[in-house]
């Protein structure tokens, strides 16, 4: 697959590879031939509206869901051929944050450590490490059912990290966290990604912009974009130039026509002239603007925001900054 960024192919260590994963529920095609690669050090954000097929794809990568076609490998181990060995190579946080509510935090983590076959001494050391990393020290003896959603989420991430896996697969990891917690979890993920590959899903755009080195947009079960945030924005070749001017009166119609500028918008302090896709004649514009008593503040290509890219790709609005946590249909 030629989906990875073209930087130093020899040095890239692919930890996750999905090959044409497909899944249908009845007549609904939840995932259609989704392929991607993920290298060590990368944080890949799965972006898409609710029900786009993000959770389905993640579940197929983990083997929790059997694909109708295609396969995935984690750290070189095929999830269908050797599922148990593959499961040792990743930690997984499900979307709905399911824990055994009657268990205490430390007790729960010890259960996971045992179930993952960690030696008792190593288990104790790792439990201490993840409790420290996720700041769960005060919650050690609390039952998980008595925790706030933010702390439950941290227990879920702790559980995924316990065996120190090279790959983390997180379904909506910051769902339900307050802003302070979100900032902390993002910082933790960035830190963890240095030695790992992290794959996570979200329907929140800021999330992607904040921590991802790569974005994959999923829409109606299909991968419709894959690249760094800058690469995706740069694909917008049609994006027009824009001239910002301050002060003075607006340019007359004949002057604008000569300079190929459109009708200005904004106030006298900040007039914005759309300038089309061709590079504008800046010295001429500066002269004309000065002639009407103003000055040119900037002339730049309007760089599309991630929101604009996303909207163009999916043809629908994203949940921007929402904390909604509706479940994905069919996931």
User: Which residues make up the interface to other proteins (CB under 8 A)?
Assistant: 59, 62-66, 84-85, 87-88, 90-92, 94, 96-103, 111-112, 114-117, 159
Q: Would you say 111 or 178 has its CB closer to other proteins?
A: 111
Nearest distance, CB of residue 154 and other proteins, angstroms: 15
Nearest distance, CB of residue 139 and other proteins, angstroms: 18
Query: Given its phi and psi angles, is residue 160 left (phi above 0), alpha (psi -120 to 50 degrees) or beta?
Result: alpha
Q: Would you say 117 or 283 has its CB closer to other proteins?
A: 117
Nearest distance, CB of residue 231 and other proteins, angstroms: 31
Q: With CA atoms as reference, report the closest residue to 299 among 313, 284, 314.
A: 284
Q: What angle do CA 281, 286, 289 make, to 5 degrees?
A: 120
Distance CA 128, CA 133 (A): 9
Distance CA 328, CA 309 (A): 22
Q: Would you say 23 or 271 has its CB closer to other proteins?
A: 23
Tokens 């997984």 sit at which residue? 92
Q: Would you say 173 or 280 has its CB closer to other proteins?
A: 173
Query: With b meaning 16 or more CB within 10 Å and e meaning fewer, what string describes 203-225?
Result: bbbebbebbbbbbbbbbbbebeb
Nearest distance, CB of residue 2 and other proteins, angstroms: 30
Nearest distance, CB of residue 113 and other proteins, angstroms: 9
Tokens 């030695």 sit at which residue? 195
Q: Would you say 124 or 206 has its CB closer to other proteins?
A: 124
């Amino acid at each position: 697959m030629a989906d990875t960024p073209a930087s130093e192919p020899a040095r890239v260590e692919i930890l996750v590879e999905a090959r044409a994963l497909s899944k249908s529920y009845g007549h609904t095609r939840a995932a259609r031939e989704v392929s991607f690669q993920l290298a060590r050090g990368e944080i890949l954000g799965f972006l898409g509206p609710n029900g786009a097929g993000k959770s389905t794809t993640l579940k197929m990568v983990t083997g929790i869901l059997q694909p109708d076609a295609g396969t995935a490998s984690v750290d070189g181990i095929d999830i269908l051929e050797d599922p148990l060995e593959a499961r040792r190579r990743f930690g997984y946080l499900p979307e709905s944050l399911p824990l055994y509510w009657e268990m205490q935090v430390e007790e729960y983590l010890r259960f996971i450590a045992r179930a993952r076959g960690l030696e008792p001494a190593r288990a104790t050391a790792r439990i201490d490490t993840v409790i420290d990393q996720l700041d769960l020290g005060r919650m050690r003896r609390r039952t998980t059912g008595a925790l706030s959603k933010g702390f439950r989420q941290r227990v879920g991430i702790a559980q995924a990290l316990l065996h120190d896996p090279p790959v983390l697969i997180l379904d909506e990891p910051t769902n339900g966290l307050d802003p302070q917690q979100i900032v902390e979890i993002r910082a933790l993920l960035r830190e963890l990604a240095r030695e790992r590959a992290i794959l996570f899903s979200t329907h929140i755009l800021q999330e992607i912009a904040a921590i991802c080195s790569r974005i994959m947009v999923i829409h109606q079960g299909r991968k419709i974009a894959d690249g760094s945030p800058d690469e995706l924005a740069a694909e917008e070749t049609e994006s027009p130039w824009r001239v910002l001017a301050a002060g003075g009166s607006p340019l007359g119609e004949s002057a604008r026509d000569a300079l190929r500028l459109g009708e200005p918008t904004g106030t006298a302090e900040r007039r914005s002239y759309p300038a089309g896709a061709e590079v504008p004649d800046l010295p001429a514009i500066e002269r004309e603007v000065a002639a009407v008593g103003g000055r040119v503040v900037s002339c730049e290509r309007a760089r599309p925001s991630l929101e604009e890219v996303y909207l163009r790709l999916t043809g629908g609005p994203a949940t921007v900054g929402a904390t909604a946590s509706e479940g994905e249909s069919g996931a």
